[in-house]
Amino acid sequence: MNASRIVHHRLFWPVVALVALILINTISRPTFLSITVKEGGLYGSLIDILRNSSQLMLVALGMTLVIATRGIDLSVGAVLAVAGAVSLTFIGGSSHPGDLGTVTIAVLLGLAVTLVLGAWNGFLVSVIKIQPIIATLLLMFAGRGIAMLITKGQITTINSPPYAQFASGHLLGLPVAFLVALAVTVLVAVVVRRSALGMLMEAVGVNPEASRLAGVQARGIIWIVYALSGLLAGMSGILYSSNIMAADANNAGLNIELDAILAVVIGGTSLAGGRFSIAGTVVGVLIIQTLTTSITFLGIPPAITPVFKAIVVIAICLTQSQRVRAAIGSRHRRTRQTPTAGGLGTESPIEAEKAATA
C-alpha cells in the first residue's frame, strides 16, 4: 500500500530519472560523487551542479507560479539580461566599483528594474487581457534591446570583488549562488504556501470563472505572479553577470525561458495551469542541470545537449498525452466518445456534469 503510494506520487518518476542520471555518471566515473575541500569551499561535480543550477532555478521558480495561473512568461531571458546590464553599468560607472555600498545599490537597482518589467507583463495580461504568450513575447523582443541600450552594445566588464562573490564565492563551504537560489526558493515556497497566494493562484489557474464567483481577485494575483517572475529573472541575471563579470546583453539568459518551462513541466506542473509543485520544479531543474553536466562529464560534446533535451521533452509529452494514456489505460469504456458529444449539445454541461458526478 505504502509502496504504491510512493510510486503514484507525482514526483516519483522525475526523482527516479534524477537518481538514474547520477548513477550513470557514478558508474562511468566514480569521481563524480567525490567532494573535495579547497580554500574553505567545497568542490566537485555535485557542487558544480548545485551552483550551475541556481540561475535556472530562480527563473524556473517564477515560471512555475506563472504557469500555475495558466500563463507563460517568455520574457525571462531578456529580463535577466536587463538586470545584469543595469547592475553592471551602474557599478562600471561608479567611482568605487569594489565598494559594498555600490554593489548593494547596483543589485537593488537591477532588481527594481526587473520588477517593473515583470509588472508590465502582468499589466498586459491582467488588465489589457492580452494572451500571456503574446504579452511576454513583446518584452522578449524589446528586453534585449533595452539591455543593449543600457550597455550601449558593449559587453561591459567590471572588476568588483564583492559582486563576483555572488557567483564564485563560498559561504559555509557552499557556493553563494546556490545559497541564494536555495534561500529564495525556500522563501518563495514558504510565502506562497504559508500565505493564501498559492491556493488562490491554483484556483484561478484551474477555474477562472468559479474563482471570480467566489470573490477571488484574479487581476491582483496575476499581476503579483508576473512581477515576481520578473524579479526572480532579475536575481538570476545578477548571478549570471557575476559569473562572467560582464553584462552580455546578447547572450545572457538566451533560451533560459525554454529550459525553465521544461523544468516546470518535468516537475509535474501542467502547462494548462492549476496545481503546481515547487519541489517538482527543483527536481526538474536538477535533472536538466545534471543532464548538462553529465554530458560534459561523460565526454560528449556539450553542444549536443539539445538532442537529449528534445528526447526528454518528447518522452514527457508522450506520457502526458491523453491519447497515449488512453491507449495504455482502459480501452473498453465506450463512454469515452462523449467528450466530442459533450462539446456539442445545448444541455450538455448539465448532462455531462450529471454523468461525471452521479
| Span 94-113, contacts to another protein by CB under 8 A | none
**For another protein, which stretch binds (CB under 8 A), given 48-56, 108-116, 157-165, 314-322?**
314-322
The neighbour count for residue 126, using CB atoms within 10 Å, is 23
CB of 142 to another protein, least distance (A): 3
Q: Site for another protein (CB under 8 A): how many residues? A: 94
Integer Cα distance of 267 and 13 in angstroms: 9
Residue among 8, 38, 323, 331 that touches another protein (CB under 8 A): 323
Per CB under 8 A, which region of 99-107, 110-118, 204-212, 234-242 contacts another protein?
Answer: 204-212
Task: Tell me how far apart the alpha carbons of residues 55 and 120 are, in angstroms, rounded to a whole number.
Answer: 22
Segment near another protein (CB under 8 A); pick from 27-35, 36-44, 163-171, 260-268: 260-268
Q: What are phi and psi of 36, to 5 degrees?
A: -115, 160
Binder of another protein out of 222, 249, 256, 286 (CB under 8 A): 249
Nearer to another protein, 26 or 348 (CB): 348
Q: Which long-range contacts (CB under 8 A, 24 or more apart) does 186-191 make?
A: 188/61, 188/65, 188/228, 188/232, 188/278, 189/278, 189/279
Listing DSSP states for 136-157 in one string gives HHHHHHHHHHHHHHHHTTS-EE
Regarding 211 and contact with another protein (CB under 8 A), the answer is yes
* Interacting residue with another protein among 196, 296, 298, 329 (CB under 8 A): 196
Q: Which stretch binds another protein (CB under 8 A): 52-60, 157-165, 182-190, 259-267?
A: 259-267
227 interacts with another protein by CB under 8 A: no
Answer yes or no: are the C-beta atoms of 72 and 261 closer than 8 Å.
yes
Q: Does an H or E element contain 174, and which?
A: strand 174-175
b/e code 177-191 from CB counts within 10 Å (16+ = b)? bbbbbeebbeebbee
Under rule CB under 8 A, residue 330 binds another protein = no
Site for another protein in 284-313 (CB under 8 A): 301, 303-310, 313
Nearer to another protein, 101 or 153 (CB): 153
| Choice from 66, 80, 106, 140 touching another protein (CB under 8 A) | 140
Beta-strand ranges (E) seen in 20-173 are 36-38, 41-43, 156-157, 170-171
Q: Which of residues 115-134 bind another protein (CB under 8 A)?
A: 128-131, 133-134
Would you say 3 or 327 has its CB closer to another protein? 327
